[in-house]
Amino acid sequence: MQVVDTAAIVTGGASGLGAATAAALAARGATVFALDLEPALAGAPEVKGVTYLAADVTDATTVGAAVETAAGAGVPLRTVVNCAGIGPSARILGRNGVHDLGLYAKVIQVNLIGTFTVLALAAERIAQTEPGADGQRGVIVNTASVAAFDGQIGQVAYSSSKGGIVGMTLPAARDLAQHGIRVCTIAPGIVDTPLLATVSEEFRAGLAAGVPFPRRLARPDEFAQLALAIVEHDYLNGEVIRMDGALRMAPR
């Protein structure tokens, strides 16, 4: 599928994976709408072709408004990349007692239900566009994590949410096939995002040393490169792709 002269939505688009993906899509000629929380938008980079919209993926009203804005851009809405997510850590039985049930619910709400909300509302508008070659109308790329498969101690909420995204991939692709919409998921390993900017170089080096090859952290632009490859490769559908340098996470 061609990206030029189409519209795209990227959630979590103010930083990290989302910002890199929004910039890559814009560089390919897409009109990009990067969604994020209002406070995050204050630090978002200025990128030609990228318009920032305040939206909370847990709020169907703000998501719906953002989707309508993208769908009314004057070019067909073809691409959605879901990058928004949170990753707090807590054990089921920790020093302060049982895992906070509200925290567990919040992680599921943001990471899993938020992803589905954007997927469903965007798919509705993509399905209304004129089809291209082979009846294709668009593609949705979701973000899981290697934690969906190799969840570590303290990642029970995060792994649950990302495992749900993995499980969503094939049935979503099958559901939306009749509308000419493909669905794939990327499961990144350890990516050098702003989340890791606060940790020491020694800790970062330790993380990188656990990756078989290349023995380094992944870069956000590599995630964006893979997302673009999925968008442009018409026969990729219903697939979960690990981007992790052959990493398999240890228990801790």
3-state SS, residue 210: coil
Rounded Cα distance between 90 and 197, Å, is 21
Rounded Cα distance between 222 and 84, Å, is 17
**Marked catalytic residue, from 52, 104, 158, 235:** 158
Q: Sign of the C-alpha dihedral, residues 228, 84, 88, 43? A: positive
Which amino acid would we find at residue 25? L
3-state SS, residue 223: helix
Phi/psi of residue 35, each to 5°? -100, 140
Active-site residue flag, 158: yes
Catalytic positions: 158
